[in-house]
């Protein structure tokens, strides 16, 4: 029986708390976040005596150390924002607790996400005998596990990887983001990037797009983006010649985003407003719907998977592995929408891997560095069933 501390009581934090409460392996759960009322509302919805709550400003490591020393969890699951990653890793080192997150560190004043800051903790975690698992949501997260699983069971060499992420759901709002708006908009408005033949190639934001078919959904316009798991997969999957990431957006979403960008509302530098300094993107976040509030009326499915091509026994092999997730079913089960659900469930499975000793080794790791099998075994039972397509024509034969 293990104890888990969850940091962040947003859309993803709610799913993680619900799912941890449902696992016999977790005897006690502490949900801590900046606004304690959100923790309390989630705990009330779960209705289990296992779940305790606390107020926490996780930007200050000493606050977290105090809670960790009092509660003494076996693992900390960080589902606050990427800005808190380093302070939470520092706190885990000081308190001697394993760490897991779903998004890599970003400095608040630069829209740049890369693993360098967190990979720099490698020696400290190793020396402390602690495990840190980075990017254990769906993408990053399951996409890395899918790729490791493909390499283990279906390929001698992987040559190309195309991760495709479709949200074909509808929440009925004119414009909203499915996870934290500030992080989401920073991700999408930056220049696109993909890996080919040993180098990174850059493109203008959202300038390359094709209709790509998704199971049970059909064709959706999909945009080439930079996504953080590309960095670790290029490093950890030997022989990879090309790695790309595609995400669907509706025309209405892109139009709203273009207008917001054109009028300066996506800026992340400070501007003076009525004698006060404000960051336009943070102000925009304050007026947009919270991701967790979209859940009630959300219909339709998400579909995220990996198209992989390479060699098996001297022959070309094509392989597609994916999960489809229904927003309304997520709401029925845990009161959340599909994006929060597909992120939160893998974080819980990652934590289970650590506390069961299956992914427990000292150092800082990305998910594809571990044995994918026990993780894949739990995905379906915990709510994210996956499917495979082997040696069928790929949409990327032409793209
Ligand atoms: P939300 O904005 O809904 O929730 C973030 C939560 O973190 C809020 O409760 C917020 O508190 C809390 N928080 C923010 N700053 C602090 C702080 N300094 N101290 C303590 N708590 C803080 O975001 P989501 O739940 O949608 O996303 C959570 C994380 O999941 C993000 O890092 C996101 O990038 C990641 N993600 C990963 C995905 C993947 O597949 N790998 C996909 C989607 C999201 P308050 O309520 O007071 O604002």
Domain of residue 316, CATH code: 3.30.360.10
In terms of domains, do 102 and 159 share one? no
125 is a domain residue: yes
pLDDT confidence of residue 291: 87
pLDDT value, residue 183? 87
For the segment 30-56, the average pLDDT, to the nearest whole number, is: 98
Closest residue CA from atom 44 of ligand 1 = 179
Given this model, what pLDDT does residue 112 score?
Answer: 77
Domain boundary among 73, 101, 134: 134
CA of 180 to the centre of ligand 1 (A): 6
Structural domains in the chain (count): 2
Q: Which pLDDT value is given to residue 76?
A: 99
**Which of 134, 158, 181 represents a domain boundary (last residue)?**
134
Q: Name the pTM for this structure.
A: 0.96
From the alpha carbon of 58, which atom of ligand 1 is closest? 19
173 and 109 within one domain: no
Q: Closest ligand 1 atom, CA of 139?
A: 40
Looking at the CA of residue 179, tell me the nearest atom of ligand 1: 26
Which residues, including other chains, have CB under 8 Å from residue 336's CB and lie 6 or more apart? 11, 14, 15, 18, 292, 295, 330, 344
Same domain? For 170 and 303 the reply is: yes
**Burial class of 159 by CB neighbour count within 10 A (0 to 12, 13 to 18, 19+):** middle
For residues 118 and 162, state if they share a domain: no
Look at residues 91, 118, 134 and tell me which one is the last residue of a structural domain: 134
Asked whether residue 366 is domain-assigned, the answer is no
- Which pLDDT does position 108 carry in this prediction? 83
Give pLDDT tens digits for 92-140: 999 999 999 999 998 888 777 899 999 999 999 999 999 999 999 999 9
- 335-364 pLDDT per residue, tens: 999 999 999 999 999 999 999 999 999 999
Verify that 182 and 322 share a domain, yes or no: yes
Establish if 63 belongs to a structural domain. Answer: yes
The three state secondary structure string of 31-49 is: EEECCHHHHHHHHHHHCCC
Distance 314 CA to ligand 1 centre (A): 45
Do 191 and 275 have their domain in common? yes
End-to-end CA distance of the chain: 49
> What pLDDT is recorded for position 8?
98
Residue 150 lies in a domain: yes
CA of 34 to the centre of ligand 1 (A): 10
Evaluate whether 205 touches 188 at the Cβ level (below 8 Å).
yes
Claim to verify: residue 91 and residue 163 sit in the same structural domain: no
In a domain, 355, yes or no: no
- Please indicate, yes or no, whether residues 168 and 105 belong to a single structural domain of this protein: no
Q: What percent of the chain has pLDDT over 90?
A: 92
Residues 179-232: tens digit of each pLDDT: 888 888 888 889 999 999 999 999 999 999 999 999 999 999 999 999 999 999
> Domain of 188?
142-334+383-397
Q: Is residue 276 part of a domain?
A: yes
Q: Which atom of ligand 1 is nearest to the CA of 138?
A: 40
Whether residue 19 sits in one domain with residue 89: yes
pLDDT in tens, 137-152: 999 999 999 999 999 9
pLDDT mean across residues, the chain: 96
For residue 19, the domain's CATH number is: 3.40.50.720
Q: Judge whether 375 lies within some domain.
A: no
SS (H, E, C) the chain: CEEEEEECCCHHHHHHHHHHHCCCCEEEEEEEECCHHHHHHHHHHHCCCCEEEEECCCCCHHHHHHHHHHHCCCEEEECCCHHHHHHHHHHHHHHCCEEEECCCCCCCCCCCCCCHHHHCCHHHHHHHCCEEEECCECCCEHHHHHHHHHHHHCCCEEEEEEEEEEECCECCCCCCCCCCHHHHHHHHHCCEEEEECCEEEEECCCCCEEEEEECCCEEEEEEEECCCHHHHHHHHCCCCCEEEEEEECCHHHHHHHHHHHHCCCCCCCCEEECCEEECHHHHHHHHCCCHHHHHHHCECEEEEEEEEEEEECCEEEEEEEEEEEEHHHHHHHHCCCHHHHHHHHHHHHHHHHHHCCCCCCCEEEEHHHCCCHHHHHHHCCCCCCCEEEECCCCHHHCC
For 42-60, what is the mean pLDDT?
98
Q: Which residues are 210's β-sheet partners?
A: 222
> For 307-325, what is each residue's pLDDT tens digit?
999 999 999 999 999 999 9
CA 324 to chain centre: 16
Determine, yes or no, domain membership for 358: no
The per-residue pLDDT for 111 is 72
pLDDT in tens, 245-292: 999 999 999 999 999 999 999 999 999 999 999 999 999 999 999 888
Residue 99: phi, psi to the nearest 5?
A: -130, 145
For 246, residues 6+ apart whose C-beta sits below 8 A from its C-beta are: 162, 163, 164, 165, 210, 212, 222, 223, 224, 225
Examine the domain organization and report whether 34 and 179 are in the same domain.
no
**What is the average pLDDT across 155-183?**
94
Tell me, yes or no, whether 192 and 281 share the same domain: yes
- 204 with 295, same domain: the answer is yes
Ligand 1 atom with least separation from CA of 57: 19
pLDDT of residue 182: 84
Which residues have C-beta atoms less than 6 Å from ligand 1?
Answer: 7-13, 33-35, 38, 56-59, 79-82, 84, 102-103, 135, 137-141, 179-180, 183, 290-292, 339-340, 343
Ligand 1 center from residue 8 Cα (angstroms) = 6
Packing angle of the helix pair 11-21, 338-355 (nearest 10 deg): 50
């Amino acid at each position: 029986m293990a104890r888990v501390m969850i940091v962040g009581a947003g859309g993803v934090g709610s799913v993680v708390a619900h799912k941890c409460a449902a696992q016999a392996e977790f005897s006690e759960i502490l949900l801590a976040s900046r606004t304690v009322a959100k923790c309390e509302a989630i705990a009330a919805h779960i209705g289990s005596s296992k779940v305790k709550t606390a107020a926490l400003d996780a930007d200050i490591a000493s606050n977290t150390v105090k809670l960790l020393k009092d509660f003494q969890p076996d693992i900390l699951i960080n589902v606050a924002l990427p800005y808190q990653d380093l302070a939470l890793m520092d706190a885990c080192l000081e308190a001697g607790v394993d760490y897991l997150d779903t998004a890599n560190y970003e400095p608040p004043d630069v829209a740049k996400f890369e693993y360098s800051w967190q990979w720099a903790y490698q020696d400290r975690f190793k020396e402390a005998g602690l495990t840190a698992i980075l990017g254990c949501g769906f993408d990053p997260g399951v996409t890395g596990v899918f790729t490791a699983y493909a390499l283990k069971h279906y390929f001698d060499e992987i040559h190309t990887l195309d991760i495709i992420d479709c949200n074909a759901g509808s929440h009925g709002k004119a414009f909203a983001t499915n996870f934290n708006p500030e992080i989401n908009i920073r991700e999408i408005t930056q220049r696109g990037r993909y890996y080919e033949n040993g180098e990174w190639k850059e493109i203008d934001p959202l300038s390359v797009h094709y209709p790509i078919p998704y199971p049970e959904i059909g064709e959706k316009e999909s945009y080439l983006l930079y996504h953080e798991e590309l960095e670790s997969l290029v490093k950890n999957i030997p022989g990879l010649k090309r790695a790309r990431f595609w995400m669907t957006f509706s025309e209405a979403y892109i139009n709203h985003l273009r207008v917001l960008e054109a009028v300066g509302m996506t800026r992340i530098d400070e501007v003076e407003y009525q004698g006060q300094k404000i960051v336009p993107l943070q102000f925009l976040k304050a007026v947009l719907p919270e991701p967790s509030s979209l859940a009630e009326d959300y219909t339709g499915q998400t579909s995220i998977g990996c198209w992989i091509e390479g060699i098996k026994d001297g022959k070309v092999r094509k392989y597609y592995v994916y999960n489809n997730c229904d927003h309304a079913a997520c709401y029925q089960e845990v009161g959340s929408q599909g994006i929060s659900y597909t992120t939160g469930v893998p974080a819980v499975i990652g934590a289970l891997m650590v506390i069961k000793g299956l992914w427990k080794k000292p150092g800082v790791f990305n998910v594809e560095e571990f044995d994918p099998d026990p993780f894949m075994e739990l995905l379906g039972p915990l709510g994210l069933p996956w499917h495979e397509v082997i040696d069928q024509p790929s949409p990327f034969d032409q793209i």
